[in-house]
Structure 1
Amino acid sequence: MTHRLSYSTSLKPASKPTFAKAWLRVTLGAAALALLAGCASKGEPAYTPKELKSFEATTSIDSVWRESVGDGLGRARYPIEPAREGNTVFAADAQGVVMAFNAQNGNRQWRIDLDTPLSSALNAIAGQLYLGTRNGEVISIDQSDGSVNWRSRVSSEVLAAPQANQQLLIVQSIDGQVTALDRASGAERWVYTSSQPALTLRGSGTPMVIDPVTFVGLANGRLATLDNRSGQPLWEQQIATPRGRSEVERLVDLAGQPVLSPDGRLFVTSYNGRVVALEATQGGVLWETNLSSRHTPVLVGNTLFVITDDSQVVALDASSGQELWRNNDLEDRWLTAPAFADGRLAVGDFEGYLHLIDAREGQIVGRTRIHKSGISLRPVSEGRTLHVQANNGRLQTLEISP
C-alpha cells in the first residue's frame, strides 16, 4: 500500500527571484559558485585557492592499479561517487556506463551500459548496487553480473546515493521529495514532501537510514526524522536559519549526510549555518558550533572531522563541539568530503591532488596527483586502501604506508 504525505514545514520559503519561474539550482563547484557570485554582485568570485606548499612527507602513497571508467562525470561533474562491498569496487560515468572491478588487482568483472544518464552516488549493499538517474529513475543492479533487477520512478533527478535498511530503499530527489521503495521489487511504499526555498545548492542531502527511522536533511535548513513504516515525520529541528538580503546569502542547505554515532548522537552540517550534535531519539540539541559545510563529516572515535565551505579541515571533540585542531593549508581548493584511512584523512582537490592529513595532529603527511581534471568525489577507503575517481573517469587504487 502506498502512502503519500504532503508535509509543509512552518518555515516559509523565501520569495522567488524575478528571473526564476521554478526552482533555481546551482552546481557545487567553482563554476557554480562563480555563477552565484555573479548573481549577487555581477563580479568575479572572491576566492583565491591557496598554492600548495612543500612539506615533510611521512606517509607514502603507492599506486596499485588504475582504470578508466567511461567518459567521467560530465561538464556538470555529477556526484557519481564509487562504492565498494567486499572485494569489488563499483564505478560509473555520467552517460550510464557502470563497471565492477576486483579491488585487489583492478581486473574488470563486468561492464554494462544502462543507456540513460546517471547522476547519483552509488550504494553497494547486500549483493545489490543502487543508483539514481537524471530523469528520476532509481535502478537496482545485481553485483554479481551487472544484470538489472528493477527500475522505479521518483519525482525528479537523484543526486544522493539511495540508502537502504532491511526492507526499504530511501531516495531523496532534488525537489525535496523523499520516496521509500521496496528493496526487493522497487514498488513505492510512501512519499514525504517538504517545502523548498526559491534558491538551493545544486544537490540534496543524503538520508541516514536505520531500521525504524530515516533522518533527512532538507534545503530549508531543517532536519526531519521519518517513521519508516509510513513516512510520517516524528520530529523536526531547525539546523540553519536563512539570513541576509539576497537569495544567495539565505542558502542554508543541509547537503551532507547526517552521521549517527553508536550511542545515539546525530551530527549534522549545514551550508551558511552550523554543525550541530543532536540527541537522535527526540532531536534535542547537545551542542552547536558556527561552521559552514556542505559535506558529510567523518566520525572517528570521539572526533568529528569537518571540511568547511572554504576548504579548511577542522577536528571537533564530538562530546562538546570544542575545536581540537584546524588546517587551512588547503583553503579554497574545493576539497572533497573526507575519507578516513588508517589514521589519516584523505581529501581530493580541484587540481586533482589527493592529500593525506594526520587525524591526530592535523598536518599534511602525504600527497599525490591523480589527474589534472580534478577530484570532486569523496575517496572510498578500506583499511589502508583508497579508491579515488577523478573527474575525467580515471579510477585509481592506492595503498598508504606505514
Structure 2
Amino acid sequence: MELRNYLVLPLILTTLLSGCSLFNYEEDVIKMSPLPKVENQVHLQKVWKSSVGKGVGDFYSKLHPAWLGNSVFAADRFGIVKSLDTFSGKEKWRIDLSEKTGFFSKNISALLSGGITVAGDHIYISSERGRVFSLNSSDGSIVWQTQLNSEALSCPVVSDGFVLIHTSNGALHGLDQNTGKEKWDLNLDVPLTLSLRGESTPATAFGGAIVGGDNGRVTAVMIKRGQIIWQQLVSLPGGTTEIDRLNDIDSTPVIVGNVVYALGYKNVMTALDLRSGEILWKRKIGGVRDIVVDHGNIYLVDKEDRVIALTADGGATIWSQNALMYRALTSPILFNGWLIVGDSEGYLHGINTIDGHFITQKKLGSKGFQSDFVVADDKLIIQSKDGDIYALKKHL
C-alpha cells in the first residue's frame, strides 16, 4: 500500500478540519487554528497579478515559479509553461507540453509535477508521467525531453553538467544537461510499507549530491560517477499503524559549510557531517516542507504546522509560533528579513525571525497556496493552487 503526500496530509487535514473525526470519536477531532489577528507593522503591496493555466488544484505538486533576471517562469499541472516579465507580469512566451491526441480529441494533461528550475539559458521541469523537459528560457522551445521509468516528482537539480531527478521508485537519475541522455541511475531503496507522496529534491555541493529517502536514510552521491559516498540512517519506523511507521525524508536537505541539515516526517531534524555522514545532533521534530538555514538559525514548519526556529549548531529551540497549526502551511521563505508562509485559505503570514511574533498578514485570493515562494530581487513571487501568479513587494 502506498500513501503519498497529497493523501497523508491534506486528506487527513481536510477530513479532520471538516469537523469529522477520522475515527468518529469526538476527542480525535483536530481543527484548523482560527486566523490570528495581526496588526500589520509592515505591508505587502501587490505589484502585478497574472495566471498560468489552472494551476495544480488539490493535487500534490512541487511545481513553483522560478526567476532569472527579467523573466519569471511558471507552469500548471496540465502542461502550460509561461515566461512573464518580472516588472510587469506581461506574458513573454507560452508553450503547451500536454500530449496531442488528434484533431478532434482533447489534449492529455502533461501532469507536470516538479520544477521549475532555471540554469543558464534553459529551464527544466518534470512530470508524473516520468518525462523531463529542457526548454529554451528565451522562447520556450523544447531542447530535449527524456522518458524515465517512474514518476518524476522532485524538482530537477542542475549541477556539474548533470540534471538530477529523484523518482518515486526511489531512484536518483543523472541526465546529461545538454542532451538529456541518462548517464546513470542509482537505486536508493524505498520502503515496502506506506510512504508519503513526493521525493526529496537533492542538494548539491563540491561535486556531490545529498538526498533524503523514503527509508529514513540520507545519502551522499558523487555526481559525475553516480556512486554512493555514504548513507546514514537517521530515522527508524515505529508504531502500531502504517501511518505511525511513515519514515520518509521528503524535504530538500540544506548544506551549509561542512554540515547537512535534513528534516524527516518521523520526528527527526538532523545535522550530519558532510564528509562522513556522521550524525552531529538530532531533534524530535518532524515535517515534510523545505527548511531555511540562515545566520546560524534553522526555520521550519513541522507536520502540525508549527513554525519553529532552532539554533543550527545544536538544534536548541529559539521560539515556536503555534497560532497557525493545521492551516496547511507552505515552506517558509526569508523576504526582507521576515519569514513568510502561506496557508490553505489564501493568507500570507509574516513572522519576525527574532522572536516569532507576527508582523504582517495579507489575503490573496481564496484558493490557498501549496508551492514554494520565490524571491526575485525586491519582489516576492507567489503561485496559488488555481494558477494565479502574484508579485509583491514591501510597501514603502
Once residues 29 and 342 of structure 2 are traced to their aligned partners in structure 1, the CA distance between those partners, rounded to angstroms, is 21
Aligned to 2:184: 190
Aligned to 2:376: 382
Deviation at 1:55, TM superposition (A): 2.0
Aligned to 1:245: 240
Aligned to 1:25: 4
Asked whether 1:52 is paired with 2:47, we answer no
Q: Which among 23, 43, 47 is matched to residue 64 of structure 1?
A: 47
After superposition, the CA RMSD in angstroms is 1.9
Q: What SS does structure 2 have at the residue aligned with 1:216?
A: strand
Q: Which among 211, 223, 226 is matched to residue 228 of structure 1?
A: 223
Q: 1:125 to 1:172 in 2, by over 3 A?
A: same
Once residues 207 and 250 of structure 1 are traced to their aligned partners in structure 2, the CA distance between those partners, rounded to angstroms, is 24
Once residues 391 and 55 of structure 1 are traced to their aligned partners in structure 2, the CA distance between those partners, rounded to angstroms, is 24
Question: C-alpha offsets along residues 270-308 of structure 1, whole Å, 9 cap, x if unaligned?
Answer: 002211111101111222111011111001111110111
Once residues 36 and 301 of structure 2 are traced to their aligned partners in structure 1, the CA distance between those partners, rounded to angstroms, is 19
Map 1:3-402 onto structure 2 (within 5 A).
Answer: 20=1, 23-27=2-6, 31-33=10-12, 42-43=23-24, 46-115=29-98, 116-197=110-191, 198-261=193-256, 263-401=257-395
Once residues 162 and 274 of structure 2 are traced to their aligned partners in structure 1, the CA distance between those partners, rounded to angstroms, is 20
Q: 1:81 to 1:337 in 2, by over 3 A?
A: same
Deviation at 1:385, TM superposition (A): 1.4
Deviation at 1:379, TM superposition (A): 1.2
Q: What SS does structure 2 have at the residue aligned with 1:185?
A: coil
Q: What SS does structure 2 have at the residue aligned with 1:199?
A: coil
Q: 1:171 to 1:203 in 2, by over 3 A?
A: same
Q: Contact conserved, 1:260 with 1:266, CA < 8 A, in 2?
A: yes
Deviation at 1:346, TM superposition (A): 1.0
Aligned to 1:12: none
Question: C-alpha offsets along residues 127-182 of structure 1, whole Å, 9 cap, x if unaligned?
Answer: 21111012100000110110110001112111211101131010001111110000
Once residues 35 and 241 of structure 1 are traced to their aligned partners in structure 2, the CA distance between those partners, rounded to angstroms, is 28
Deviation at 1:84, TM superposition (A): 1.0
Once residues 324 and 385 of structure 1 are traced to their aligned partners in structure 2, the CA distance between those partners, rounded to angstroms, is 28
Question: C-alpha offsets along residues 349-396 of structure 1, whole Å, 9 cap, x if unaligned?
Answer: 010111111112211111111121111112111344111111110101
Q: TM-score, normalised by structure 2?
A: 0.91
Structure 2: 5+ residue runs without aligned partners?
Answer: 99-109
Q: TM-score, normalised by structure 1?
A: 0.90
Letter in 1 for 2:197: R
Aligned to 2:102: none
Once residues 362 and 132 of structure 2 are traced to their aligned partners in structure 1, the CA distance between those partners, rounded to angstroms, is 35
Once residues 177 and 130 of structure 1 are traced to their aligned partners in structure 2, the CA distance between those partners, rounded to angstroms, is 19
Q: 1:157 to 1:46 in 2, by over 3 A?
A: farther
Deviation at 1:78, TM superposition (A): 2.4
Q: What SS does structure 2 have at the residue aligned with 1:201?
A: coil
Letter in 2 for 1:271: Y
Aligned to 1:9: none
Once residues 29 and 146 of structure 1 are traced to their aligned partners in structure 2, the CA distance between those partners, rounded to angstroms, is 35
| Count of matched residue pairs | 378
Q: Contact conserved, 2:93 with 2:140, CA < 8 A, in 1?
A: yes
Deviation at 1:29, TM superposition (A): 6.8
Q: 1:154 to 1:113 in 2, by over 3 A?
A: same
Once residues 69 and 12 of structure 2 are traced to their aligned partners in structure 1, the CA distance between those partners, rounded to angstroms, is 37
Deviation at 1:36, TM superposition (A): 9.5
Q: Contact conserved, 1:341 with 1:382, CA < 8 A, in 2?
A: no
Once residues 285 and 221 of structure 1 are traced to their aligned partners in structure 2, the CA distance between those partners, rounded to angstroms, is 13
Once residues 36 and 229 of structure 1 are traced to their aligned partners in structure 2, the CA distance between those partners, rounded to angstroms, is 45
Q: 1:338 to 1:137 in 2, by over 3 A?
A: same
Identity fraction in percent: 29
Q: Contact conserved, 2:38 with 2:361, CA < 8 A, in 1?
A: no
Q: 1:336 to 1:35 in 2, by over 3 A?
A: closer
Deviation at 1:77, TM superposition (A): 4.1
Once residues 157 and 42 of structure 1 are traced to their aligned partners in structure 2, the CA distance between those partners, rounded to angstroms, is 32
Q: What SS does structure 2 have at the residue aligned with 1:66?
A: strand
Once residues 7 and 370 of structure 2 are traced to their aligned partners in structure 1, the CA distance between those partners, rounded to angstroms, is 9
Q: What SS does structure 2 have at the residue aligned with 1:122?
A: strand
Q: What SS does structure 2 have at the residue aligned with 1:200?
A: coil
Aligned to 1:11: none
Q: What SS does structure 2 have at the residue aligned with 1:240?
A: coil
Structure 1: 5+ residue runs without aligned partners?
Answer: 1-19
Letter in 1 for 2:181: A
